Amino acid sequence: MKKHPFRLSALQVQWLLVVGFLTVGYAIYLRYFAIENSQVALACDAGLQTWLCKTRQTATWLFRHSVFGGAAIIIAVLHMMRPSIVTLTAGLVAAGAGIVLYNVVLCGIAVGLLILGFARPAPATS
């Protein structure tokens, strides 16, 4: 039985485009309007308790500990072993957010592994 490489349907490509743009768009919003904005940073550091400050604090902790990059690498390796739309979507979300939020090296490697997942045969269906 010949195994065919992992390929996406048109609907899956559209799904990945929507999820990718939403992830990167929110990460850009968070980076430039919450993390790097000095007025917001001063207000949050002074003790302001809003959802933006809590999100800023969470995102800052996540990228300081390279959680985005680590998660993207783990998901990309899983995608290499058994390619599926679920692992590709999760890897795209982790890598997209990580690239925008300062985890460029690990997320860049993860993107490369996600691309290599297309060279693997798709899992057999019963």
Q: Which two tokens stand for residue 121?
A: 């045969």
Q: What is the mean pLDDT of residues 34-55?
A: 93
Q: What is the mean pLDDT of residues 104-117?
A: 94
Q: Model confidence at 125, in pLDDT bands (50, 70, 90)?
A: low
> pLDDT for 59-95, tens place per residue?
999 999 999 999 999 999 999 988 899 999 999 999 9
pTM: 0.87
What pLDDT score was predicted for residue 7? 86
CB 76 within 8 A of CB 95: yes
Read off the pLDDT of each residue in 86-114 and give the average, rounded to a whole number.
95
69 residue type, one letter:
G
Residue 105 CA, chain-centre distance (Å), reads 13
State the SS3 of the chain: CCCCECCCCHHHHHHHHHHHHHHHHHHHHHHHHHHCCHHHHHHHHCCCCCHHHHHHHHHHHHHHCCHHHHHHHHHHHHHHHCCCHHHHHHHHHHHHHHHHCCCHHHHHHHHHHHHHHHHCECCCCC
Beta carbons within 10 angstroms of residue 108's beta carbon: 15
Task: State the average pLDDT over residues 18-47.
Answer: 94
| pLDDT higher than threshold 80 for residue 5 | no
**pLDDT value of position 44:** 93
